[in-house]
Copies of this chain bind each other. A is one copy, B any other.
Amino acid sequence: MGEFELIHHYFAAAACARGGEGVALGIGDDCALLQLPAGEQLAVSTDTLVVGVHFPHAADPYLLGQRALAVSASDLAAMGATPIGFTLALTLPDAQPEWLQAFARGLDKMAAQCALSLIGGDTTRGPLSLTLTVFGRVPSGQALLRSGAQAGDLLCVGGNLGNAAGALALVLEQQQAEPAVSQPLLEHYWSPQPQLALGQALRGKASAALDISDGLLADCGHIAKASGVSLLIEQQRLPLSTALLQLSGEAGALRCALSGGDDYVLAFTMAEQHLPALREAGHSVHVIGRVVSGQGVQLLDKHGAQVALPAQGYQHFGSTGD
A interface residue numbers (CB < 8 A to B): 1-6, 24-25, 28-36, 38, 41-54, 75-76, 78-79, 81, 87-89, 91-92, 94-95, 119-127, 129, 131, 133, 135-136, 138, 140, 143, 145-147, 209-211, 226, 315-318, 320-322
Contacts and interface: CB of A to CB of B under 8 A. Distances in A.
A262 to B, nearest CB: 14
Contacts of A131: 46, 48, 89, 122, 131
A317 B94 contact: yes
Contact of A317 (B81, B95, B121): B95
Interface centre among A78, A131, A211 (most CB of B within 10 A): A131
Given A127-B126, A320-B1, A120 B33 contact: no
Please give the count of copies of this chain that the complex contains.
2
A95 B316 CA distance: 9
Contact of A43 (B32, B46, B76): B32
A219 to B, nearest CB: 10
* Nearest 4 Cβ contacts at the A-B interface: A50-B126, A2-B322, A30-B78, A31-B43
Nearest to A32: B44
B50 A91 contact: yes
Contact of A31 (B51, B122, B136, B226): B136
A40 to B, nearest CB: 9
Contacts of A146: 28-30
Contacts of A145: 25, 29
5 contacts: A3-B317, A29-B79, A29-B146, A31-B75, A48-B131
Nearest to A135: B44
A317 B1 contact: yes
A89 B48 contact: yes
B125 A127 contact: no
Contacts of A78: 30-31
Nearest to A122: B48
Nearest to A143: B33
A120 B145 CA distance: 14
Contacts of A76: 31
Given A1-B320, A30-B146, A52-B126, 12 more contacts: A29-B79, A29-B146, A30-B78, A31-B75, A34-B44, A35-B41, A38-B38, A44-B133, A45-B120, A89-B89, A129-B129, A133-B133
